[in-house]
Amino acid sequence: MQKRPLGETGLLVSKICLGTMTWGQQNTEAEGHAQLDLALDRGVNFLDTAELYSIPPKPETQGSTERIIGTWLKARGSRDKVVVASKVVGRTAMDWFRGGRPSKLVREDIVHAIERSLRNLQTDVIDLYQIHWPERNTSGFGSNPNRQPTEPVERLSDETPIAETLTVFDELQKAGKIRHLGLSNESAWGVMRFIFESEKGVGPRVASLQNAYNFVNRTAEVNLTEVCERERVAFLPYSPLAQGFLSGKYDNGALPEGSRKVLFNRSQRYETPNAAEAILAYNTLAREFSMEPALFANAFVVNQSFVTSNIIGATSIPQLETALASADITWTPEMQNAVNDLHQKYGNPCP
């Protein structure tokens, strides 16, 4: 599988990254190991996890995904074959991360998170350590809204300055616990502010950005992707299937047994006005090109010029096979033009 530069880190990562957030709830340890074995065999060398996972977040399953990866790394002796990425939570009222209190991006909390993640992953260093979401208040988790909110977003009085957070990452990097810093669910302003502080000599430079990106949410274009291209920050899109909606399994109101929507009912981001019509249009277009919708949607993401690695996810081996196969699809100008025509019509109904 083709490898691409991870920003300016010197690391080369496969153009597909194996997402892991279902391991520990929807998937067992054995199933996670089977996915890892298959992905590695197919040329994937990039794994993404988080202290938050598995999803949905619960006290009793927090860290389960990292632990599953850790047992695989130990059993297979594969640490030197993969680039491991994990994440520290941003500001959150979920109190189980820090032993019964809220968490922020301050030294005590970040150090607590990295030490536990290293133990879970059974490794001495995390190659890419990412901030899962910003410390500051934003207009919505992981979203780049189509419109400015009517009321200004409240600026918190105890907001941790980005420079302060960066000094902690600098300490972790110098201690050899992390190699590089990444961001997730961040805005163009946020990315540039991190870069600005690092260019002043405060902490490591941002290597990557991980944000949602798919047919019904192309809000990363153009501002975020211009920042990434100009500043040599790797763009790592997640949710290429829009939480499964772009697989076609929910078309026309279908509710497959065992699906994430049935199990957890956390898919409101993809149930906005006009979303169902737009999703059906893209899934229909895929079939017109004689492809499964999931294959078509993943192929779109992995073939965009500004994408470094597409973070895929699967709960079964057949789903993983389809996602991996997208790396071999020849994405044609006809396909791109047809997708752009639908985007012109539907815009971004699920930002």
Distance between CA atoms of residues 255 and 177, nearest Å = 43
Residues 193-219 have pLDDT tens digits of: 999 999 999 999 999 999 999 999 999
> Taking 90 as the threshold, does the pLDDT of residue 144 lie above it?
no
Residues 68-113 have pLDDT tens digits of: 999 999 999 999 999 999 999 999 999 999 999 999 999 999 999 9
In the chain the domains, ranked by start, together with CATH numbers, are 3-346 (3.20.20.100)
State the pLDDT at residue 132. Answer: 98
Global pTM reads 0.96
> Taking 80 as the threshold, does the pLDDT of residue 140 lie above it?
no
Catalytic residue of the set 53, 213, 238, 346: 53
Q: Is 53 a catalytic residue?
A: yes
Distance between CA atoms of residues 242 and 240, nearest Å = 6
> Taking 80 as the threshold, does the pLDDT of residue 239 lie above it?
yes
In the chain, pLDDT over 90 holds for what percent of residues? 88
